[in-house]
Structure 1
Amino acid sequence: MTHFRISEAAELVGVSDDTVRRWVHSGILSVSHDAAGVQVVDGAELAEHTKTMALDAADVGQVRSSARNRFVGLVTKVAVDGLMAQVELQSGPHRVVSLMSAEAARDLRLEVGSKSVAVVKATMVILETDKEPNA
């Protein structure tokens, strides 16, 4: 069973340590202690909570989509060069970059500080893990 220290859990989810502690205090997550006596949260429980958070964030109202990989965030950069635009979105700890036509960026009224949803539909996703699994 995988466990994460509170600071590790916070980093994985993209929130502060205090937020994870509030989740523990309010009963959203349970806590146990590792061999060193440090508080840890269960990885599977953390994963379930992050799925709930993602569903809440992805509830954007009037849109239906077959894509399940939706990143709600803030636009941090819009660079228009001729016919193309590069738009950067910060979604929690994730930076998503999209290349689109300049016309599409204008039509979507994308500007720094605006809310947007990056929808990713890919045929291949590569996952990586640490060389030494977390105990």
Structure 2
Amino acid sequence: MALQWMILTYVVAAEAALALLLTLPSPKLLKNRLVSLISVILQPALFIVPFAGFQLLDIYWKNEHRLMCTSEICTAAERDRYEKSFYKSQRNVILCVTACLLYWCIQRICKYNKEIQSLEEIEKRYKDE
């Protein structure tokens, strides 16, 4: 189970790096090449959305079927273990939501850059006429 969360963590880190790379100011030629490269990568990277959704469903199911440790019978170690698992599930929910949100942001940034590029080409054509 930990492998899934490590994969999701690395994907979120990579998405954050790509989003940062896309939003940094750079020369137009480099920006256009970078946007086209990332646009090609986005198609197969769409797997992250259903993967994160499945992980969210898994967290929800485990939360609904988790044994509660709120009575006086529970030892301190059991209570700590319960709280630790609860905090881990909260962290994992944030990770899943962040993965989907970053994917969407990268996709929108690429789309806006492509639209700007096409509008600049149209403007250039009108200026040439």
TM-score class normalised by the smaller sequence? under 0.3
- Quick one: higher RCO (CA 8 Å, sep 6+), 1 or 2? 2
TM-score (structure 2 length as normaliser)? 0.27
Higher normalized helix content (fraction of residues): 2
Question: Highest Rg: 1 or 2?
Answer: 2
Higher normalized strand content (fraction of residues): 1
